[in-house]
Structure 1
């Protein structure tokens, strides 16, 4: 891909549910929220996901992606290591940590097999402990794609939104028309969330979502479930 449209196409590829990282197998607590009767219809699902976007994603992983992009561009290994460690420390449950590690490792393998598989920054990504976590890996993938930071944040948030709406369709459950309305609600809120994440000072990045953490912990032993989180 050498034409001017290549960065956009690569970014669309990264945001696609077809990316082989297993994102479709996680609901990030939504399945447990449905089981607990906290989410039971389209309106409740929309409110739940908007809260998650604005109160969790924008303040944590989306902000982390923004800062990791700058670190990858500067080839600042110490900063990358610190951000990955912070991401690991702020996964509040076992399944949340496993999700970020599994998708991060899968993304690394996908990048290694791509056009820029010989980029030396992939060695840095592979060396991160305990694993390259998803937000840090996604940030590098967007840098390698040549995407602008803002477009990268929009793609990250949109990828999350599509996966979550797909999870809502299966767990609430919802039909296709309702799912499209949910995506429209999230799409309207994503630009502001991306801008807020990009502007968030390092000291204000946080991961405090107690209800989500409790639901995730309960989901680990939920009797009947479709998703891994």
Structure 2
């Protein structure tokens, strides 16, 4: 049950969907079926959060296949037979590996500190835009900022291979801009959930958007990791 702020009456939300406008008024709309607009919005937010999660963390998986680990170990002084890498637990590196094993490594000779710059650059941009765009989304609407942020994130994601070929700092810049684009996604998602989902369903729909997305992405990374190791 919900209280209508206009006339003080109560509304049975089992048969109506209640929308709260920005001015505080309540709009009632009769339910027309089991799948309403709020369910469609929730499903689209689920897909958007899944895409954002993948774009945010895919470099952590891809960098394993991009880096030439054999060349890095040789450059760090592991140049005689089978040696144990100091910063890894129980990993044995055979620098006399066969040609096939050498070719399995990536083409980029990035030291661990350079890899850290690549992996962290996204999150530097990510934290910058969350609060400002959360305020802007509340004031000017969230759909525009959500769409533009997703577009910037996706377009610059396509530039990652070319940026890696151009140089390490080009890649860092591209990942940083991706983070700037993804910053508005989370606050805009919360704003859309608050505006479209009734209070009695908000926790369930929010759990679907976040918990379902994480489960989907975990399965994606398990399959993707298996493919990389074949």
TM-score (norm 1): 0.29
Structure number with greater CO (CA < 8 Å, separation at least 6) is 1
Please identify the structure whose Cα radius of gyration is greater: 2
TM-score (norm 2): 0.29
